[in-house]
């Protein structure tokens, strides 16, 4: 393992470096643990499904030998809503609201992925302005999702203040989301072939202001965490996955990159014109919680960079259309549908019959904040998919949890679980 | 590492076991005979497709069409994707070989396909339902024969949920520790006593 830039050793008062007790606090007598028969007995501890540290309705059954974890058995499904089944009964555009509710910490990125998967299936090329706006949606989602991760993980490890900072900044993105889509959480931003709405007038100034001031908060978090002895002690060398293990477990996103795999769909399989943006992809080397933290922190800086470039591009595309000019795909404006016979017919056909896709199938994966989110559509030529599969990054990343927790302490389980960045809406779907 | 093999190389290696090849929406898709799927996947993994993107299944609305199990593979070096499919007769017992020993990530994905479609993965070490609970017996929700709102009324579902024993949600591994075996429903105890796993 390569040496760290930050080396530190933590020592608990009263213990020497090997963990042997040097003095008994409060005059307590040391109990000879080897003498009683408690030593050999394994304990079964149930964490969740209603537990603040499991980030939702996740249930972990932990077998313990003392404080050492023998194994962890996760139980999921408490939030199962049958989204994939529901999708088979809906038009492609009607599935967009379902995607808001899967990974509800980054709804706009999910909307974008759904529209792109449907467009790949139907062979639709979107407009340039729409591409830029979708990049903005994806990167705003990345920032708010990582901010939630940062805040909640900080709380799990005992740091309250960064939670307040990050949620304060997240609120600003939510206000922008609200001004754009009318909703803070259930954005339903995209439509097949375009977007629900263009950005409002004040949006660009608001986002520029955010990009200018937001990195200051990240700098503060950096000051608070990166060289913090408690933070480093709780995260360095905990929950380690090697490069080979990360690939073998099909991990994606920051979890994969923390283990030293240079893989980012934005760079390696570019979509939405990401190849034209200048940004860096942070890659870790130790595969532990600390590296995952460093990667997510750096990704927020990089997202801010992408947002600034996207705003520059947007300024050149003022007044350009956001939707494809195909009346079979995009609804006509309401005023035209009310006054023009042809527009009304297209409106009626689309609302009643939906946008039909040719028989076939398409898989499209995008780099979501939590990893590779993929939507797999199979169509039989009708307006409703035969099969809508969500490739849930949280679920696949969480599957590596038992491996990461082997031999860890019970308190590490909380930290490792937090580092996976799960959202149960997406895991259980 | 040499670049990932293309479809002609797969055909040359497995001959008639590769029943069909198509490029749909720009993606390469190959259909492989069910009995040689595992062998082909192991070969593809060794030849460069080292990353398993997803495992899922598709059942068509047309009952004449086969149910398909889908593996999505990727070569991280060249960013090439390959989709491998196996066609199964939806009226016969559904079973394919597990690839958990090749990719650890396949563990939960195979459990989900088993849970949702009832496809048994031979050789899976712990084939339990993933999202639905162990004693769930309405069937496999993503099959086309399964009604959108389930087989039972809302009232009946609530009644069953209230009557269920939460201890029964422990897996065999946990029961070996917790000794909660006696609290399981009779049907499940009989199944486990026969050593039966992954069949409802």
Furthest C-alpha separation in chain B: 59
DSSP string, B84-125: EEEEE-TTSPPEEE--TTT-TTHHHHHHHHHHHH--EEET-T
With 0-12 / 13-18 / 19 or more C-beta atoms within 10 angstroms meaning exposed / middle / buried, residue A202 is exposed
Q: What is the mean pLDDT of chain B?
A: 82
Dig out the tokens for B65 from the structure: 């069409």
Interchain CB contact of B75 with A (< 8 Å): no
Residue A228 has what pLDDT? 83
Distance from C-alpha of B119 to C-alpha of A7, rounded to nearest angstrom: 50
**pTM score, two decimals?**
0.84
**pLDDT averaged over consecutive 10-residue blocks of chain A (429 residues)?**
52 56 46 51 79 83 84 88 92 92 92 94 91 94 94 90 92 93 91 90 92 92 86 86 92 92 90 91 90 92 93 89 86 87 89 88 93 93 92 93 88 90 90
- Residues of chain B in contact with residue A249, where contact means CB-CB under 8 angstroms, are 103-105
How far apart CA A155 and CA A157 sit, in angstroms, is 5
Task: Check pLDDT > 50 for residue B42.
Answer: yes
Q: How far apart are CA B187 and CA A347, in angstroms?
A: 54
Backbone angles phi, psi at A34, to 5 degrees: -75, -15
Split into its structural domains, chain A has a count of 2
Closest-CA distance of chain B to residue A125, Å: 13
Residue A118's alpha-carbon distances to A93, A122, A191, in angstroms, are 9, 6, 9
- Cα–Cα distance, A384 to A340 (Å, whole number): 28
Tell whether A154 and A52 lie within a shared domain. Answer: no
Contact A44 B178 (CB under 8 A): yes
A311: nearest Cα among A205, A392, A408, A213 = A205
CB-based contact, B130 to chain A, within 8 Å: yes
SS3 A148: helix
Residues 6+ apart with CB under 8 A from A352: none
CA distance B131 to B55: 15
Q: How many helices (H) and strands (E) does chain B have?
A: 6, 7
Q: Which residues of A touch B142 (CB under 8 A)?
A: 84-85, 387
Instruction: Report the pLDDT value the prediction gives residue B198, as an integer from 0 to 100.
Output: 41
pLDDT score of B168:
59
Question: Edge-to-edge, what's the strand order for the sheet holding A360-368?
Answer: A360-368, A371-379, A387-391
Q: What whole-number distance in Å separates Cα of residue A341 and Cα of residue A345?
A: 6
User: Do A264 and A380 belong to one domain?
Assistant: yes
Q: Is B92 exposed, middle or buried (0-12, 13-18, 19+ CB in 10 A)?
A: exposed
A388 in contact with B, Cβ within 8 Å: no
Residues A99 and A213 in one domain: yes
Quick one: A180 and A49 in the same domain? no
Confidence of residue B178 (pLDDT cuts 50, 70, 90): low
CA gap A99, A87 in Å, rounded: 10
Contacting A residues, span 410-429, partner chain B, CB-CB under 8 Å: 428-429
Give CA separation, A70 vs A44, A63, A241, in Å: 10, 5, 17
Q: Is A243 on the interface with B (CB under 8 A)?
A: no
Token pair 């040499």 is found at B2
Q: Do B131 and A360 touch (CB under 8 A)?
A: no
Residue of chain A minimizing CA distance to B131: A77
Task: Mention every residue, 6+ apart, whose C-beta is less than 8 A from residue B35.
Answer: none
Q: At the topology level of CATH, where does B1-131 sit?
A: Beta Polymerase; domain 2 (3.30.460)
Q: Is residue A17 part of a domain?
A: no
Q: Is A14 among the domain residues?
A: no
Per domain, the residue ranges of chain B are 1-131, 133-200
Total number of residues shown for chain B = 200
What residue numbers bound the domain in which A319 lies?
83-428
| Whether the bond into A180 is cis, omega within 30 of 0 | no
CA atoms within 13 A on the CB side of B8: 0
Q: Which bin fits B118, alpha (ψ -120 to 50), beta or left (φ > 0)?
A: left
Helices (H), chain B: 7-14, 37-46, 106-117, 154-163, 172-178, 186-193
Query: In angstroms, rounded to a whole number, what is the distance separating the alpha carbons of residues B1 and A425?
Result: 38
> B115 CB contacts (<8 Å, ≥6 apart)?
B129, B130, B131, B132, B140
When pLDDT is averaged across residues B131-155 and rounded to a whole number, the result is: 86
Return the higher-pLDDT residue of A372 and B157: A372
Together in a domain, A211 and A67: no
First to last CA, chain B: 43
Which helix (H) or strand (E) element contains residue A285?
none
Task: Give the nearest partner residue to A396 out of B105, B133, B171, using CB atoms.
Answer: B105
Residue A21 forms part of a structural domain: no
| Claim to verify: residue A359 and residue A309 sit in the same structural domain | yes
- Among A82, A84, A395, the residue with its CB nearest the CB of B108 is A395
Of A77, A120, A429, the CB nearest to B25: A120
Beta bridge partners of B28: B23
Instruction: Nearest by CB to A374, from B53, B109, B116: name it.
Output: B53
Q: Which residues contact A334 (CB under 8 A, 6 or more apart)?
A: none
Dihedral over Cα of A129, A253, A290, A165: its sign: positive
pLDDT confidence tier of residue B200, bands split at 50, 70 and 90: very low
Q: Which range, of A152-156, B73-77, B125-129, B176-180, averages the lowest pLDDT?
A: B176-180
Which residue in the block uniquely carries the two structure tokens 């690939």? A247
Of the candidates A63, A89, A251, which has its C-beta nearest B148's C-beta?
A89
In this structure, what DSSP letter does residue B143 have? S
Find out whether A403 and A396 touch, Cβ atoms under 8 Å: no
**Cα–Cα nearest to B164, from B183, B190, B191:** B183
**Residue A233 phi, psi dihedral angles, 5° rounding:** -65, -35
B152 touches chain A (CB under 8 A): no
How far lies A77's CA from each of A59, A374, A376, B7, in Å?
Answer: 9, 20, 21, 38
**A4 within domain boundaries:** no
Instruction: Check whether residue A140 and residue A185 sit in a common domain.
Output: yes
Q: Which CATH number does the domain housing residue A384 bear?
A: 1.10.645.10
Angle, nearest 10°, between helix axes A410-419 and A289-316?
20
Distance CA(B135)–CA(A81), nearest Å, equals 18
| CB–CB contacts below 8 A, A to B | 117
Please, which residues 184-213 of chain A have a Cβ atom closer than 8 Å to chain B?
A: none
- Average pLDDT in the B79-85 region? 91
Do A198 and A54 share a structural domain? no
């Amino acid at each position: 393992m390569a040496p760290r830039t930050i080396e530190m050793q933590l020592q608990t008062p009263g213990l020497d470096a090997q963990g042997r007790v040097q003095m008994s606090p409060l005059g307590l007598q040391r109990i000879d643990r080897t003498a009683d028969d408690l030593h050999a007995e394994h304990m079964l501890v149930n964490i969740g499904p209603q537990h603040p540290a499991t980030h939702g309705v996740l249930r972990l059954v932990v077998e313990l030998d003392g404080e050492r974890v023998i194994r962890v058995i996760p139980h999921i499904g408490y939030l199962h809503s049958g989204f994939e089944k529901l999708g088979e009964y809906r038009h492609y555009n009607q599935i967009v609201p379902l995607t808001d509710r899967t990974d509800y910490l980054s709804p706009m990125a999910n909307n974008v992925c759904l529209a792109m998967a449907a467009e790949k299936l139907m062979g639709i090329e979107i407009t340039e302005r729409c591409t830029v706006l979708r990049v903005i949606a994806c990167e705003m989602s990345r920032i708010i999702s990582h901010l939630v991760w940062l805040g909640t993980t900080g709380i799990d490890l005992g740091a309250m203040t960064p939670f307040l900072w990050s949620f304060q900044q997240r609120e600003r993105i939510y206000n922008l989301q609200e001004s754009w889509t009318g909703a803070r959480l259930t954005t339903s931003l995209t439509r097949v072939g375009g977007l629900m709405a263009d950005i409002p007038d004040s949006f660009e100034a608001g986002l520029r202001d955010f990009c200018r001031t937001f990195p200051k908060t990240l700098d503060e978090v950096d000051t608070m965490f990166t060289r913090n002895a408690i933070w480093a002690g709780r995260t360095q060398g905990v929950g380690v996955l090697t490069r080979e293990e990360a690939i073998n477990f099909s991990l994606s996103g920051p979890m994969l990159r923390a283990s030293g795999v240079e893989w980012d769909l934005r760079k390696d399989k570019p979509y939405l014109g990401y190849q034209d943006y200048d940004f860096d992809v942070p890659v870790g080397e130790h595969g532990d919680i600390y590296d995952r933290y460093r990667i997510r922190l750096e990704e927020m800086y990089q997202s801010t960079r992408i947002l600034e470039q996207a705003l520059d591009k947007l300024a050149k595309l003022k007044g350009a259309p956001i939707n494809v000019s195909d009346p079979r795909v995009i609804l006509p404006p309401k005023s035209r549908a009310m006054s023009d016979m042809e527009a009304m017919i297209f409106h009626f056909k689309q609302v009643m019959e939906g946008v039909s896709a040719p028989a076939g199938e398409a898989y499209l994966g995008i780099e979501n904040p939590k990893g590779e989110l993929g939507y797999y559509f199979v169509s039989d030529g009708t307006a409703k998919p035969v099969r809508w599969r969500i490739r849930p990054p949280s679920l696949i990343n969480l599957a590596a949890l038992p491996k990461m927790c082997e031999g860890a302490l019970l308190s590490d389980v909380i930290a490792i679980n937090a580092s996976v960045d799960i959202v149960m809406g997406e895991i259980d779907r | 590492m040499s670049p990932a093999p293309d479809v002609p190389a797969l055909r040359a290696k497995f001959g008639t076991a590769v029943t069909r090849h198509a490029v749909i929406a720009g993606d390469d898709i190959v259909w492989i005979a069910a009995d040689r799927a595992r062998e082909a996947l192991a070969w593809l993994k060794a030849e460069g497709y080292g990353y398993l993107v997803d495992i899922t299944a598709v059942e068509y609305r047309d009952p004449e069409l086969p149910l398909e199990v889908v593996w999505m593979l990727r070569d991280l070096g060249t960013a090439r994707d390959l989709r491998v499919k196996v066609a199964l007769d939806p009226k016969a017992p559904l079973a394919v070989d597990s690839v958990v020993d090749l990719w650890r990530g396949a563990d939960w994905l195979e459990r989900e396909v088993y849970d949702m479609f009832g496809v048994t993965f031979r050789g899976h070490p712990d084939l339990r339902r993933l999202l639905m609970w162990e004693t769930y017996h309405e069937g496999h929700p993503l099959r086309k024969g399964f009604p959108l709102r389930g087989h039972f009324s809302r009232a009946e579902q609530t009644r069953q949920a209230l009557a269920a024993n939460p201890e029964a949600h422990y897996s065999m591994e946990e029961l070996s520790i917790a000794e909660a075996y006696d609290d399981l429903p009779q049907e499940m105890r009989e199944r486990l006593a026969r050593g039966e796993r992954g069949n409802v």
